[in-house]
Amino acid sequence: MRHTISILVENKPGVLARISSLFSARGFNIDSLAVGETEQRDISRMTIVVKGDEKILEQVMKQLNKLIDVIKVIDFVEQPHLERDLVLIKVNAGKGKRSEVLEIVDIFRAKIVDVASNTVIVEMTGDEEKILALVNMLKPFGIKEMVRTGIVAMGRG
């Protein structure tokens, strides 16, 4: 099952290594990872998306809580929350195709942020599903490059 885990940590060197090694030591691949400062400068929030065996994941959650630099761990599986990911896609958009690409971008309420003679860069924010849908639509034109920030999540209310 897919889990979105939000971890509040001390903003210190070595913390990321401690956390990622908990996953890697158990053979878990991290699907996405986003880190940034919170409203308090000395605290960072990591949002990690992983899939894996529930029992092992339960153990990883306990181990995360045990880490001295970890202040709080939330598994969003258990509560209503928002997820957002930002994607930049460089897609082929030569003369005959450009208007078709623009149409799709429009429908998804995405943005064109860069234009070159044969390509455009599309920027969009959304959850996993929306991003996959956009990617699928743009694939036939030829995606040259894609980059994602990784999912960030926040509890509702």
Name 46's bridge partners.
Answer: 7, 35
Q: Which is nearer to other proteins, 26 or 84 (CB)?
A: 26
Judged by the rule CB under 8 A, the positions of this chain that interact with other proteins are 9-10, 13-14, 17-18, 21, 25, 58-59, 62-63, 65-71
Q: Which is nearer to other proteins, 49 or 70 (CB)?
A: 70
Q: Which is nearer to other proteins, 25 or 113 (CB)?
A: 25
For residue 122, give both structure tokens: 């599309």
CB 89 within 8 A of CB 138: yes
Q: How far is the CB of 32 from other proteins (least distance, A)?
A: 23
CB 124 within 8 A of CB 134: yes
Q: How far is the CB of 65 from other proteins (least distance, A)?
A: 7
Name 154's bridge partners.
Answer: 82
Q: How far is the CB of 54 from other proteins (least distance, A)?
A: 12
Q: Which is nearer to other proteins, 65 or 118 (CB)?
A: 65
Q: How far is the CB of 36 from other proteins (least distance, A)?
A: 18
> Cβ neighbours of residue 62 under 8 Å, at least 6 residues apart?
none
Please list, residue by residue across 102-113, b when 16 or more beta carbons sit within 10 angstroms of its beta carbon and e when fewer do.
eebbeebebebe
Q: Which is nearer to other proteins, 17 or 77 (CB)?
A: 17
**CA–CA distance, 96 with 12 (Å, rounded to integer):** 51
Give me the residue label for tokens 């599903």: 129
Residue 110 φ then ψ, to 5°: -90, 180
Q: How far is the CB of 79 from other proteins (least distance, A)?
A: 21
